[in-house]
Structure 1
Amino acid sequence: MIRLDPLFLCRGVALVAALLLSGCTSLDYYGQLAGGQLRLLHAREPVATIIADPSSDPKLRDHLIKSQQARVFASSHLHLPDNRSYRLYVDIGRPFVVWNVFATDEFSLDAMSQCFPIAGCVAYRGYYNPSDARGEAALQRLAGKDVYLSGVETYSTLGWFDDPIISSMLHWGDERLAALIFHELAHQLFYVKDDSEFNESYANFVEQEGGRQWRVARGLAPEKESDSKQRDQFTQLVLDARERLKKLYAQPLPPNEMRVRKAAEFERLRSDYRQMRDSQWAGDKRYDPWINAPMNNAKLLPFGLYDQWLPAFAALYKQVNGDWPAFYGEVKRLGGLPIGPRKAALRKLMGG
């Protein structure tokens, strides 16, 4: 499933002035970030209180009981931070906590990034109000950018706050909720400034491998191999399209010809998908809504964020014989390298 995060927010309004000194963006933008974060903080309540309250919704209580079992597993077995994060709950009354706006130039796959003094640069701008996100997206389109708008279920404050379980995290069931907890706690454990691909691929590996081990610990059958295989094949299909587009945009072509060839590449992606769906997936149409919706460069950005180095982290985990503390130690070692040697080390892990 395609998911976008994290949106890093600093410690409330006290840091808004400091952020402005960086010259990154406007008071209004940072104000809505600080205000949204403060509202979440004020609305938190202990999960244990909700579970113990007989008037609590039974379905919610059941979700939260299972979430706390996964939360204990995260620290005791996966060696993720043991703190109050995901032992609190907030009902936000909407499907997403934030909306992210991705934007690229017409003939580029480089994101228009948003920079923060502590967290560094990320590949999107995040908004708590969907109207604000739509407004930003409209402005970027008027400027001639390719734009993609996506809702986000949760995000990590990298340990600055005790992050809560948010009602938006419950929509896809208990397995998904556990996976989100593992992913976001991984961000709290380690985060590299200015390298979203490294951060998200690392956290995505912890999410996937942690989810597999969580199922084993409960005596459940592993995820259907067909589901994971389809997800991996679909992801690779999109990454292949990205590579073709990168090569196209590097060519010195006139704009009109570039637009025609760009459109042809997106049509090739759709055609390749349908061929794979019908010949290998028995017509399973789970990705049809995404593939049939309008396509542009910005829509492809999340795939590079979440999957680029996933095989490298899987190889690293295998090298340390599945020892989580040793794995995190190696992740920190890689993250401490300059960007060039870091990428070279990751490519080596992938056999490249």
Structure 2
Amino acid sequence: MTNQTVLRPPLLLLSAGGFLAVATEVLPIGLLPLMAADLGVSESSVGLLVSAYAAVVVLASIPLNAWTSGVSRKPLLVGLLAGYGASNFMVCLADSYALALAGRLLAGACHALFFAVVFGYASRLAPPGRLGAVIALVNGGNALAIAGGVPLSTWVGSTIGWRWAFAAAALLALILAAGAARIMPPLAGSTVSGGAQLRAALAEPALRRVIVAVVILMSAQFALYTFVTPLLLQAGFTESSVGMALLAYGAAGVLGLIALGRFTDANLRRALLVSIGVMTGAVVVVALLGGAPGWTLVLVVVWGVFYGPVPSYVQTAAMNASPEHPDTVAAIHNSTFNIGISAGAFIGAQVVIGSPPSGIAYVTAALMLVAFLVVLTGSRAGFPRRIR
């Protein structure tokens, strides 16, 4: 199959939807001071708009998918995109913190179900033997949002006001909802109950191994990423140059997904092992350097390049482990992924309390080595050399 077979309008729309979802999730990060001042609350309270969103995703992904498993996929996708529009307009127009929080909780509920629908759709639209390529394409929108979402929202907020950033996200959501209503092919819901799908998926040893690997690997990644700013400052970066380093990391992730994502179908297991190995080495060397901002920046870019395709690798491994129930598997993966993010942030916070920032890099490396072993021993179940 050619790339033209993969780059079809419905799949491109799903990728754009992924951009919207992740951009919505991170929007408040670059707008903390502006939102806090306008809403009359502390910056930590505005930070809760991000953590509350993530908590809803963790808790609601699997139940919402189970409850909606029989619903036709097209109207459900359109409704979720419209929900993102409504939630972002709520925050845009909020005259109180309570209303802004309500908008964020609605967005979190949309996010909890959104990627189950998106990746379920993507798996059914994937040409034979191109599941990994399709997952990488959809994840491309997520990667672009991570790379550019915070810098772009910060610029919009400082230039014309933070509310316009949410208004732009709301408008994009409504445009995508209209586009989905027009171009997405209809897909029926499942005739198997959500609970039965969940039990069948979790009965697969391959999926259970992927879940373990994802929790450990994301815990490692986000223990470091959450507290990367103190580590960069310790390495000799200034407060003004940290932002550029993070932008370089995000751009490297997009380039890595483009350059390395093609290995998802060809040799997923080896590609994931190489990525984990290179990331482990990069973060250890950053810790050992203890300075040298130039070399640290090079290593941060290397880390970004090899992390870029990792979400696609593990998402594809999960979908491949139980292909009969793609929506349920995507919901499980969505919840698992966010559990790893939350666990990583918690681990990083505990390390920061009792050690210098370089200690986070060593903890991250140790967790990555554990994840490496889980993947390495999973060639028969969970991480095959080729995708079915």
Question: TM-score band (shorter)?
Answer: under 0.3
Q: Which structure features the higher share of strand residues?
A: 1
Structure with the higher helix share, 1 or 2: 2
Taking structure 1 as the reference length, the TM-score comes to: 0.26
| TM-score normalized by the length of structure 2 | 0.25
Bigger relative contact order (CA 8 A; separation at least 6): 2
